[in-house]
Amino acid sequence: MTYFPRPVRRLLCIFGLTAATTASHAVTVHGTVTDPLGAPIAHAVVALVHDGKVIVSGQTGFDGSYTLSSADSGRFYVLASGHSFRQLQTQSFYGGTLDDVAQNVVLEPEWVRQSVVVTATGEPEPQAQTSGSVTGIGATQYENRMTIVDTLRQIPGLDVVQTGELGGETSLFIRGGSSTANRVVMDGVPIEDIGGRFDFTNLATTGLESVEAYRGPNSVLYGSDAAAGVVAVTTPRGSTPFPSLLYEGSAGSFGTYRNQVQLAGMKRKLDYYGGFSSLETRNSIPMDAYHDDTGVANVGWSWSAKTEMRVTARNSDSATGLPAGNSGYSFYGIANDGKQLDQDTYGTGTITHAFRDNLHATARYGLVRKREESEQWYPAGNLIAGNYYGDFETVTGANGDTVRGLALLNYGSSSGAVYPYQLALASNRDDLYAEMNYVHGPHLAVVGGARYENERGVEKEPVYAYREGLERENYDYQAQVGGEFKNRLFYTAAGNVEKNGLFGTVGTPHAGGSYYLVRPGKGARGTKLDFNFARGYQEPTLDQQFGSLYTFLTKNGGQATAAQYGITPIGAEQARTYDGGVEQSLFSEKVTLRATYFHNEFGNQIEAVPASLVPVLLPNLTAAQQQSLQAFLNNNYAYELDLNSMSYRAQGAEGEVEYGLGKSVFLRGGYTYLDAVVQRSFASDGPSACSSTGTTGPCTNPGFPGIPIGNYAPLIGARPFRRPPHTAFASAIYTGRKWTGVVDAAYASRSDDSTYLGGDDVNGGNTLLLPNRDLDYAYAKIDVGASYEWKPWATVYSQLNNLSSNQHIGPIGYPSLPFTFETGMRFTLSLGKR
């Protein structure tokens, strides 16, 4: 027996008690480090960081597992890296006394720029394991930009259409789907208008951590409106152990000014982020000024290491001029004295709880409050025969066809119009969602969820004493299974049933799989095959439900006409898609090539018909009654009525390449071919809007004899409007120690469209219609942005947009901004940093 002197025995006793006390009060963090395919990474270095300092580190075992312990409590994150893998930092988490926290880490090869995505399965998942076409855009690509409009052009399969200059309404078409067929989610909560309409121009880059786009129907996870795709944005969280303040201010061409301030940090159980920005510009067109004020907040609080509560909020107040009302400024040459005000408020409240490492629950509440108000103070234009027309203009399409004349800009008092005029729309949604996520080994993961949606909408026009509202209650149930086998085969199968307050019960399936013929590795190793099948559905917008042709006919004695042409109550639009693709890695994963074929069928689509059809649709009314009804529709900006009468096919192929050139340069490029053809159309076989005799068929312009023209909708055999058959993009990103640079280029070929001026010449005729084929111009847009870190706390940046000064980026009639520039500075201040 070894004998120690009394002082040594005392010291050993104190040390033993201290160690035991420390161990009994330690927080333990454990998990597994894997590659993107789920294979464990042995000997990876892992470190536990607290208050910005590494407090303990270690290595993973042969099975990729690790365990780290600390006597500290508060907010931590894990740093992990491995040989030939890029260092990764996890999101911060709270660990308290005696807590055992699971933190699994997925490391990416050094040259690969893949990431963890959410929109494919609703749960965080490495992109390498998903079969769906998902592209994530990081903050570097839009750091110098005011909105994400141009950033979305850098994603294959997406066509971005902005009607006008900065602040002009911006729509998104995914793989040929309509602009309302996209679900837009913020922090997991749908934020688009009722029926899918969403204006991306008012989505400022302030408070955006990442943007993710999923191409294809995903109504199983996201319900109605996810008929063509999903765009998801996330709000940043505080990540520094002290308050970090960032301010930036910039000025640019056309009187453009922007200011932005952000504050973020974390303290023990709390993390917080707040941001505010103000943007204003006068644009290059008269009466087209635009401003937007955006505020964002994200606050999280950990009840314990197992339970977290989080609240996010975003509000945008914007105003933009309406130089040509709802049409193109180039058609008139005269600016309308009008503006549009938008107030968009979004909020989320989320509680997550981990019962065990493999059993998690989430409950989420979402709030959407959207207000849109259009105002016009007087009828701008030249007064001719009781109505107001623009100047004599020449309009030339990209196809070379030309028309000349005066276009109707505003109705006069003799037509029943009243000024000043105001139109107000409100779109509200309350969303409750709950899910359970259970993982049973690598082969099976089960997700079950339910959603309740309450949607309320109002449209009102005080000068006409008009007010109409709606309420829909939707119940949504979903289930999903997924897993992997041998780190090669990954599968997902899911189903959804929704009871919609308007059109009843619908169900959608979704199935997808990925298989690695060759696992990624050195040389040209890494071949992945993908396949997906899905169905989706979409509910009507406010305008479409209020402007239902069936409702209009039945209210005005047109039941016989509805029966004659098979006109039914407004209902759900439907989508079905198959897609399959291959992904190939080259040069030890420095280069990734992707090619995907997709085949979409969009059925029961909502089509617009002009109000000028009233005499044909309601022949039982007197001429005076017909004229009164048509004037009411026109004066209420309801130039059209809607019905489910169109279907079309949209198939094509996407190609994409990514190249990591060293550690500082990343190159991307992509191309999409879209072959979209209309298969059924009321504009082709319904009553003609261009004839008062009740004949069927499309419109014609006497200046183009024998050429059928779709005024409000495309014709059978033609392309859907504003879907170019060819789109492409390319980008180069450089991130150095001091310099950061981004070069973006986007291209779109000519597309079919309409001037929508049927019946709008001075004689009420169609001489201002142009043939639809290739009417919109092709364009190429090149932007350059750069930042230089002048001091650790000060950065100078500049953004140059549309270097070729191309003003045909928007649809026909809508001139785009020419070359613009913006220059500013960023200042970073760490408050209370030790």
pLDDT at residue 662, rounded to an integer: 79
Give 207's contacts (C-beta < 8 A, 6+ positions apart): 235, 236, 262, 273, 275, 294, 296, 298, 314
Q: What is the largest CA-CA distance in the chain?
A: 118
Residue in the block written with tokens 């890296």: 81
Q: Would you give the DSSP letter of residue 779?
A: E
Q: At residue 529, what are phi and psi to the nearest 5 degrees? A: -115, 140
Bridge pairing between strands 27-34 and 105-106: parallel
- pLDDT of 21 > 50? The answer is no
Cβ–Cβ contacts within 10 Å for residue 58, how many? 14
Question: How far is residue 362 from each of residues 99, 116, 211, 213, 452, measured CA to CA in Å?
Answer: 20, 19, 22, 23, 14
Cβ–Cβ contacts within 10 Å for residue 441, how many? 9
Q: Residue 137 burial (CB < 10 Å; 0-12/13-18/19+)? A: buried
Mean pLDDT of the chain: 90
Q: At residue 44, what are phi and psi to the nearest 5 degrees? A: -70, 145
Provide the residue type at 631 as one letter.
Answer: A
Q: H-helix or E-strand containing 429? A: strand 421-440
pTM score of the predicted model = 0.92
pLDDT at residue 638, rounded to an integer: 58
| Residues 115, 88 contacting (CB under 8 angstroms) | no
The per-residue DSSP string of 629-641 comes to HHHHHHHTT--EE
- pLDDT of 10 > 80? The answer is no
The Cα 545–Cα 425 span in angstroms is: 13
Residue in the block written with tokens 């994963």: 589
The per-residue DSSP string of 438-490 comes to EEETTTEEEEEEEEEEEEEEEEEEGGGTEEEEEEEEEEEEEEEEEEEETTTEE
Q: Would you give the DSSP letter of residue 709?
A: B
Q: What is the dihedral of CA 383, 387, 392, 394, to 10 degrees?
A: 170
Q: Residue 144 burial (CB < 10 Å; 0-12/13-18/19+)? A: buried
Residue in the block written with tokens 């709030």: 367
Helix and strand counts by DSSP (H, E) for the chain: 9, 45
- pLDDT of 3 > 50? The answer is no
**Residue 13 banded pLDDT, cuts 50, 70, 90:** very low
The Cα 399–Cα 472 span in angstroms is: 44
pLDDT in tens, 437-451: 999 988 999 999 999
Buried b / exposed e over 197-228, threshold 16 CB at 10 Å, is: bbbbbbbbbbbbebbbbbbbbbbbbbbbbbbb
pLDDT at residue 325, rounded to an integer: 73
- pLDDT of 552 > 90? The answer is no
Provide the residue type at 106 as one letter.
Answer: V
| Residues 146, 259 contacting (CB under 8 angstroms) | no
pLDDT in tens, 190-230: 999 999 999 999 999 999 999 999 999 988 888 888 999 99
pLDDT in tens, 275-326: 999 999 999 999 999 999 999 999 999 999 999 999 999 999 999 999 887 7
Beta bridge partners of 610: 640
Bridge pairing between strands 382-384 and 387-389: antiparallel
pLDDT at residue 635, rounded to an integer: 58
State the Rg of the chain over Cα.
29
Question: How far is residue 7 from each of residues 10, 99, 416, 667, measured CA to CA in Å?
Answer: 5, 35, 104, 67
DSSP, collapsed to helix, strand or coil, labels residue 657 as strand
DSSP, collapsed to helix, strand or coil, labels residue 127 as helix
Residue range 79-97: mean pLDDT, rounded? 86
pLDDT at residue 282, rounded to an integer: 95
CA atoms within 13 A on the CB side of 68: 27
- pLDDT of 622 > 80? The answer is no
Cβ–Cβ contacts within 10 Å for residue 314, how many? 25
Q: Residue 555 burial (CB < 10 Å; 0-12/13-18/19+)? A: exposed
Structure tokens at 541: 């917008």
Question: How far is residue 650 from each of residues 218, 576, 603, 747, measured CA to CA in Å?
Answer: 17, 10, 11, 20
pLDDT in tens, 693-716: 445 578 889 999 999 999 889 999
| 295-301, long-range: CB < 8 A, 24+ apart | 296/206, 296/207, 296/235, 297/272, 297/273, 298/187, 298/207, 298/235, 298/236, 298/237, 298/238, 298/272, 298/273, 298/274, 299/270, 299/271, 299/272, 299/273, 300/237, 300/270, 300/271, 300/272, 301/269, 301/270
pLDDT in tens, 761-778: 999 899 999 999 999 999
Cβ–Cβ contacts within 10 Å for residue 84, how many? 13
The Cα 384–Cα 327 span in angstroms is: 19
Q: From the centroid of its chain, how far is CA 746?
A: 18
